[in-house]
Amino acid sequence: MKIVILAYVIGGLTRGTMLYQLTTVLIQMYTGISSVTYTLTPTIIAVLSISCLLGSLIGTVLTPKLVKRLGRETSLRLVSILTLVLNIIAAPAVHWGYLFVCKALGGVTTVLMVTMIPEIGAEQLDARVRGIVGSLTNVSLQLSMVLCNIIQYFICLENTFYYISHVLPSFLSVVMIILSFMMKEKSAKEKALEEIVKPESILQKKYKKSLIVALSLGMSIAATGINPILHYSTIIFEETFSSPKSGTIGALITSGVSFLASIFTLPLIKKYKRKTLFCLGLNIMIACYITFIVTLYVLPMQSSTSKIIILAATAVAIVSYHFSSGALFFIIMGEVFPRNIKTVSINITMGTCVLAILITIFIFPLMSQQSNYIMYLCWVLLVEFLIIVYIPETHNRSLAEIEAMMVLEEYRIDMENKVEQDLKDNRSTCETIQTQAQITDENDRNVVVASDP
């Protein structure tokens, strides 16, 4: 179990450092030392900023095929090795196009990593610790943001220090490779039992609820508007303070608040129900958006009062994000889907999440700040409705119980009959394996006796 817990942490850190390496400051440093001279434009910055997310979108399509062909454990080892290779070859400052390709491929490998770890963890961890361990992915993502901002703060005034930013993700990739090879291999019994569960299409009517959950859960992170919230708070810091590092300091402060909030929610996840926390976080987020909208409507944006109110509401919004999507996204994603469609469901969830974030990244710079807040307010309300109606409570429930709740009512009898038949097949398979093992042991003893002079 310790290996799985470490995999959650290191996987999140590896993914996070890959994402947060693409800040505007680091892109400018890369341009300053590139062997090919080019003019850095806002378009190039925007394209590089989303390169990892574009790769992630491709990765969500590839995951089911890779897992089906190689299995989860072998696939995890492969993508861990590829992530290290990509971190190393991305370090030389050649051209922005070269960096784009490396980071897009890094997005493919790291999304495969954070998609497979919750699948493995959900099956190997006890229901009592599944939630708190699953939330470690979110904590490690926030910690990676803090670490990247600390590194950026110390190296941002000297372009040649850019290469230092690749040391941490490369080290994490090495640790992830070691962990992937230390993970427990499936026993013969587990492999035999796995053959019973045949993958099915999520488009069947009985899995309608699972499809809706995958789409709504995938939208939940983008719907909170956490990326624009962090973006606007950094701009306020840049406008308020004249220091060359003011933007970096602002990013460091907001990422620090986000990390502390993710730590604060850990004991709550173990104690309270998933849906209760999720809806509590979304309701606080709704209150924050109403505060943003009213403040911008009543007060001018440049006034010190409006900046203080917006920064205070931003801090509350960051905390509430970790009550909802931040902490619970990976937990629920690993728990809620039936075995027959788990891999494809998780990848639809991750794909929807990445696509929604990409859309918001393109949309929010084109809209006014107030319009953005109104859009996200409506979006959060929609997501909360879908979560209340469709997502079952998974706290302290076995995967079998959750699976039964995720199948439409008219198919539950068939599902229960199938589970009962599976149990009979399992017992039969176990007896066969045990008999074969006894025969093998008996043959080995006979060989030893025969060879004894």
- The DSSP H or E segment spanning 452 is none
Residues ≥6 apart with Cβ < 8 Å to 97: none
Does residue 317 contact residue 232 with C-beta atoms inside 8 Å? no
- Per CATH, 1-187 and 199-397 having the same topology is answered yes
Distance of CA 238 to the CA centre of its chain: 29
Give residue-wise pLDDT tens across range 132-167.
Answer: 777 787 888 888 888 888 887 787 767 777 888 888
Residue 241, SS3 per DSSP:
coil
Does residue 322 contact residue 281 with C-beta atoms inside 8 Å? yes
Q: Which CATH homologous superfamily contains domain 1-187? A: MFS general substrate transporter like domains (1.20.1250.20)
Confidence at residue 28, expressed as pLDDT on a 0 to 100 scale: 80
pLDDT mean over 288-317: 83
**DSSP assignments along 308-350, one per residue:** HHHHHHHHHHHHHHHHTHHHHHHHHHHHSS-GGGHHHHHHHHH
384 token code pair? 């909360």
Q: Which phi and psi angles does 203 have, rounded to 5°?
A: -80, 0
Q: Is the pLDDT of residue 312 over 80?
A: yes
Confidence at residue 84, expressed as pLDDT on a 0 to 100 scale: 92
Give residue-wise pLDDT tens across range 115-137.
Answer: 888 777 767 777 677 777 777 87
365 token code pair? 């710079």
Does residue 18 contact residue 49 with C-beta atoms inside 8 Å? no
Packing angle, helices 208-223 and 325-335, rounded to 10: 160
Confidence at residue 240, expressed as pLDDT on a 0 to 100 scale: 59
Confidence at residue 245, expressed as pLDDT on a 0 to 100 scale: 63
CB atoms within 10 A of CB 398: 12
Confidence at residue 171, expressed as pLDDT on a 0 to 100 scale: 92
Q: Is the pLDDT of residue 283 over 80?
A: yes
Largest CA distance in the chain: 99
Does residue 76 contact residue 180 with C-beta atoms inside 8 Å? yes
Does residue 64 contact residue 342 with C-beta atoms inside 8 Å? no
Residue (of 70, 77, 49) closest to 173 by Cα position:
77
pLDDT mean over 71-75: 82
Confidence at residue 410, expressed as pLDDT on a 0 to 100 scale: 46
CB atoms within 10 A of CB 50: 22
Residue (of 134, 261, 123) closest to 184 by Cα position:
123
Measured CA to CA, the distance from residue 449 to residue 443 in angstroms comes to 10
Q: Is the pLDDT of residue 338 over 50?
A: yes
125 token code pair? 């961890």
Q: How confident is the model at residue 238 (pLDDT cuts 50, 70, 90)?
A: low
Residue (of 27, 22, 25) closest to 245 by Cα position:
25
Q: Mean pLDDT score of the chain, rounded to an integer?
A: 77
- Of residues 439 and 34, the one with the higher pLDDT is 34
CB atoms within 10 A of CB 378: 11
Give residue-wise pLDDT tens across range 417-451.
Answer: 555 555 565 555 555 555 554 555 555 454 444 44
Q: How confident is the model at residue 452 (pLDDT cuts 50, 70, 90)?
A: very low
Confidence at residue 453, expressed as pLDDT on a 0 to 100 scale: 45
Residues ≥6 apart with Cβ < 8 Å to 66: 75, 78, 112
Query: Which of 3.30.70.20, 3.40.1160.10, 1.20.1250.20, 1.10.10.10 is the CATH number of 199-397?
Result: 1.20.1250.20
Q: How confident is the model at residue 217 (pLDDT cuts 50, 70, 90)?
A: confident
Confidence at residue 440, expressed as pLDDT on a 0 to 100 scale: 52
Residues in the chain: 453
Does residue 299 contact residue 305 with C-beta atoms inside 8 Å? yes
Give residue-wise pLDDT tens across range 86-96.
Answer: 989 988 888 88
Domains in the chain: boundaries: 1-187, 199-397, 410-451
pLDDT mean over 206-215: 84
Q: Is the pLDDT of residue 54 over 80?
A: yes
What DSSP designation does 113 have? H
Percentage of residues in the chain with pLDDT exceeding 70? 78
